[in-house]
A and B are shown apart, each in its own frame.
Chain A
Amino acid sequence: MHKGISCIKAVEMIPDGATLMIGGFMGSGTPHRIIDELVRQGKKDLTVISNDTGMPDYGAIKLLAGHQIKKLYATHIGQTPETGRQMIAGEMEVELCPQGTFVERIRAGGYGLGGVLTTTGLGTIVAEGKRAIEVNGKEYLLETPLRANFALIAAFQCDLLGNVAYSLTGRNFNQAMAMAADTVIVEAEHIVPVGVIPPDMVATPFVCVDYIVERCGINGR
């Protein structure tokens, strides 16, 4: 199956009101081309699950200028003051979640688990409204799974089948998110022939990947 798709067509698949997981950490390992296209096409009422909204003018923050996000799940928004402003002003709903819990909720969503038990957040405002469960005499918080309609993944290399390798801290949430959405779209720095990524280096197997955003520019045409 040929998984290549133009960035324009990939984003056209995403309806208003969709739930998106967007990989990345402060704009590193973030699918920037797809985000730019989401802005250009003016997709709205999005629910976005992303660790942060990047840095000023870099990353998912670009979706905030046009108020494209209805609800945001994130762990840290301190680098982009506009995110905090929209949250406090009530222009966007934000659920802040401890980062380890955030990624485990995504993992649970992708791995078919009913949730995760963690001690992180116990006794803090994070625990409000959540069930505490005792296991072997120790108390844990039940954190529920997260899933999305689309996962927007940034890869270092992606082969023509869809096998993905990441680079350094660009891996971050991408690996977990690629398991946790109905449709997975990969934006790669390098699209390479099958076999270039050795099996041991494949972090996300091709079966998880639905679409590969085609290269832009002369070499990709």
Chain B
Amino acid sequence: MDAKVAIAKRVALELKDGELVNLGIGLPTMILQFLPSGINVYLQTENGLVGMGAASPPGMGSPSNVDAGGRLAGAIPGAASIDSCVSFGLIRGGHLDLSVLGGLEVDEKGQLANWMIPGKMVPGMGGGMDLVTGAKRVIVAMTHSAKGAAKIVKKCSLPLTSIRRVNLIVTEMAVIEPTEKGLVLREIAPGITREQVIAATDASLIISDNLIEMPV
């Protein structure tokens, strides 16, 4: 299975019916394809809509209806248009149930770095810092390593997105829960061994007593 598909499928199981969810651009957006039947969520897009939907047919979209990546989007029945103040009020005021974002690094404290590589890639943090700081639950959806380098590390070397401890890390190899005691390895993907996960991780892992196979 493609790594990104595996990650999206597993994160999809974390979404609960009726939740208000913000999905980052890229991999997190793929999650929608894999929502279990009976689970309907409301998508918040930080540029100003509660209840984002699929884009209109080609040529029928409105340039005033885009997603957080600037691509044409749609609105579901019941959607609400909001300005950026209200949008970030939802995010920072504790009204957003879940934020799913990509990551460059997560460390043993469960702190995420995902917005810049100094001197190289400085796209800006956009709404990422507010989302990680304010959402009720934060899931990092990312590949386990990048070009052979571990992304789960003892201490982030890149600038932090927030000092908040994220709630869950989902990779194509494992599901890891950052806790007060450290990173707890909860699930391992089919066909992957515990040793392989440990070898691909630069941080200490606490093996859960209830370690299971990742249901993907």
Contact = CB atoms under 8 A, between A and B. Distances in A.
Interface of A: 25-29, 51-52, 54-55, 74-79, 84, 87-88, 96, 98-101, 103-104, 107, 118-126, 156, 166-176, 203
A172 B70 contact: no
A82 B6 CA distance: 34
Nearest to A30: B63
Interface residues of B, number: 40
20 contacts: A26-B69, A26-B70, A52-B124, A75-B124, A75-B126, A75-B127, A76-B127, A98-B129, A98-B130, A99-B46, A99-B84, A104-B88, A119-B134, A120-B130, A122-B163, A124-B162, A166-B81, A169-B66, A172-B48, A175-B83
Contacts of A26: 47, 66, 69-70
A12 B203 CA distance: 59
Given A98-B130, A101-B130, A123-B163, A171 B81 contact: yes
Contacts, number: 154
A26 B160 CA distance: 25
Nearest to B126: A76
A124 B66 contact: no
Contact of B62 (A75, A167, A174): A167
A32 B148 CA distance: 44
Given A25-B66, A172-B48, A172-B83, 5 more contacts: A26-B47, A28-B47, A28-B70, A122-B162, A168-B81
Contacts of A124: 129, 159-163
Interface string B106-134: 00000000000001011111111110011
A103 B69 CA distance: 18
Contact of B133 (A29, A54, A84, A119): A119
Dominant secondary structure of chain B at its interface with chain A: loop
A169 B126 CA distance: 16
A126 B116 CA distance: 12
Contacts of B73: 169
A28 B64 CA distance: 5
Contacts of A103: 83-85, 88
Given A78-B123, A168-B48, A171-B83, A99 B70 contact: no
A171 B124 contact: no
Given A25-B66, A26-B69, A28-B70, A169 B47 contact: yes
Contact of A99 (B75, B83, B126, B163): B126
B92 interface: yes
B83 A168 contact: no
B124 A77 contact: yes
Interface string B48-66: 1100000000000011111
